[in-house]
Amino acid sequence: MNAFLSALLSDDAPRSRILSGLVVAILLVLVVTPFAFPGATALNTAAKICVFVTLVASYDILLGYTGIVSFAHTMFFGIGAYGIGLTLAAFGPSGWAILVGLVLALVVGLAFAVLIGLVSLRVKAIFFAMITLAVASAFAVLVSQLSSITGGEDGRSFKVPAMLTPGFRLFDAPVFGVTVNGRILAYYAILLSAVVLFLLALRLVNSPFGRVLQAIRENEHRTEALGYPVVAYRTAASCLAAAMAVCAGAMNAVWLRYVGPDTTFSFAIMTDVLLMVVIGGMGTLWGSVVGATLFVGAEAYLQKAMEAASNALAGVPLLPRLIHPDRWFLFLGILFVVSVYFFPRGIVGRLRRPREGDAPNPLVIEEHEPVEHLTEAATDPKP
């Protein structure tokens, strides 16, 4: 059993009892949400967590493992969403339409990733970030202006296959007091997709290819001097991360049954993803699970918690006004500033920090560790 679990996690287990318990608890809550937490809010929050775990993990492949700062990641997220949405709107609600839309979105997304990679990855980091920001902004403007196709600023609604709609019933009788309808089936499809994509990403970063990406992050000039084509590896990493982001966008579109600029191309989504990566911990995919869950959960429930606390303290001077729910975004910012201050390496980075006598973490590259060691490991058949 332990060997199977180790292979499933690509020999990259959380390696911390606290972190392991936290990850297991998050997974269990996501699995039982439709039955344990009835209501649209809980189900929508859980589905959003699944989508953003996938999106944040894909971005961490770029930022945390390869050292690429890109502001065009939400462009690929939007390509996936619009690929599904426009295909379903054009060909009707069917599984084939979803498959065709996903394939087309992957082709378009990979084409843009290759183009950006070959044209831009030879420049310095800050200039590459500006180029990706310009490309993403131009693409968002283009989508908004093609209103006859995309619906413009209003976006476009569409129908999904009947078995993914609330009117579909899998069983005649309720299960644990809950009617298993198409909405719940759609949620579990998204959850399963998120788990599979996460495990594939975990396999990628723990492969010889992933070792080279980490070597590039530490010292790309020395890595290239050792014979590795840095531009080719960085372009490949961009393509793989883009493909994963496209899948996240497709999942989001199927769940919302709507695509629009605000739900896909908004720069606010990009800043949220950056926050989730930093809070969870860069360079460790487990950080995407923790960061996305904390961020999305806080967005969904912090305002309600503040409202309850404000009502409970109604007789106390000043405090009810101080924690009024209208100020929830301020407190959200304070929470994240505090978390970054006390967890500079992210929550997972702090929890996974090796203790004295522990075996070194092969994914944590210390500043004094020579890059030759990493690139030699990249040629080892077993990472």
Q: Is residue 44 part of a domain?
A: yes
Containing domain of residue 77, as a range? 2-378
Of the chain, the percentage scoring pLDDT greater than 90 comes to 49
> Cβ distance 26 to 166 under 8 Å?
no
Please classify residue 173 by burial: count the beta carbons closer than 10 Å to its beta carbon, then call 0-12 exposed, 13-18 middle and 19+ buried. exposed
pLDDT value for 220: 84
187 in a structural domain:
yes
Q: How far is CA 355 from the centre of its chain?
A: 29
Its pTM surpasses 0.85: yes
Q: Are 70 and 128 in contact (CB under 8 A)?
A: yes
d(CA 71, CA 75): 9
Count of the separate structural domains present in the chain = 1
Q: Does 130 map to a domain? A: yes
Residue 230 lies in a domain: yes
383 falls within a domain: no
Q: What is the mean pLDDT of residues 130-153?
A: 89
pLDDT band at 355 (very low <50, low <70, confident <90, very high): very low
What CA–CA distance (Å, rounded) separates 164 from 108? 26
Supply the CATH number for residue 145's domain: 1.10.3470
One-letter amino acid at 322 equals L
Q: What is the pLDDT of residues 80-106, one digit of tens each?
A: 999 999 999 999 999 999 999 999 999
Contact 299, 59 (CB under 8 A): no
Q: In the structure, what pLDDT confidence band is assigned to residue 349 with cuts at 50, 70 and 90?
A: confident
